[in-house]
Amino acid sequence: MMDAGPAPPMTLQVRNVVASVRVAESFRLDDLAAAIPGAELDRKMFRLIIRLSAPKASALIFRSGKIVLTGLRAPEAVAPALVAVLDLLRDAGAELDEPVPPPKIVNLVASGTLGEQVALHHLAISRNLDRIEFDPEMFPGLVYRSGAGGVALVFGTGSIVVTGTRSVEEAREVAAEVRAIVTAAGALAPM
């Protein structure tokens, strides 16, 4: 029998980074919407939306003085995006706390592949059911809740989506945990 060789490599790419920071006591959203070109006031959700082109991101500005940055493709893009938003707010006359505290990443979403197909039914019945949700009639993937935090969506194609982490390292740890569990269960199948 021929040796199949090493398992194909697992891949993982960041798809979205969400960060938040409180930079002021409060904002007058109506005034900011009038002063910032392209800003969109969402009265239903009580927020102002500013779309940035470099780095590409959206900033949600709340009356409470909180900013939520979303749509970033890398944790390293958080700081430049915040600087761009703060510049727009200052130019619009907003009073900001000084110094501005550093933003915190509150969610990082990454997707990739485990390198091989996964027998989801086999995995679901052979592993710890406390951390696994699998109902193929409701959702085509398996939901795995990592003990270290984070959630992975695992699909039969071998695709994986990791969410609920706060760093690339955490996302990789969750994906590696899933790969180890899938391998231990004998649920991998070559693509």
pLDDT tens column, 32-47? 999 999 999 998 889 9
The CATH homologous superfamily to which domain 20-105 belongs is: TATA-Binding Protein (3.30.310.10)
Spatial distance between the Cα atoms of 98 and 33, rounded to a whole number of angstroms: 23
Quote the percentage of the chain above a pLDDT of 70. Answer: 94
Share in percent of the chain as helix, strand, coil (round to 5): 25, 35, 40
- Report whether 165 contacts 146 (CB < 8 A): no
- Report whether 43 contacts 28 (CB < 8 A): no
- To the question of domain 114-189 being in CATH 3.30.310.10, the answer is yes
pLDDT digits (tens, 9 = 90+) for 56-105: 999 999 999 999 999 999 999 999 999 999 999 999 999 999 999 999 99
- Whether the predicted pLDDT of 4 surpasses 60: no
Residues paired with 105 in a beta bridge: 19
| Geometric angle at alpha carbon 58, from 57 and 64, rounded to 5° | 135
CATH code 3.30.310.10 region(s) in the chain: 20-105, 114-189
- Whether the predicted pLDDT of 1 surpasses 60: no
pLDDT digits (tens, 9 = 90+) for 141-160: 999 999 888 999 999 999 99
> Residue 2: what pLDDT?
44
The dihedral sign for the CA sequence 181, 187, 190, 191: negative
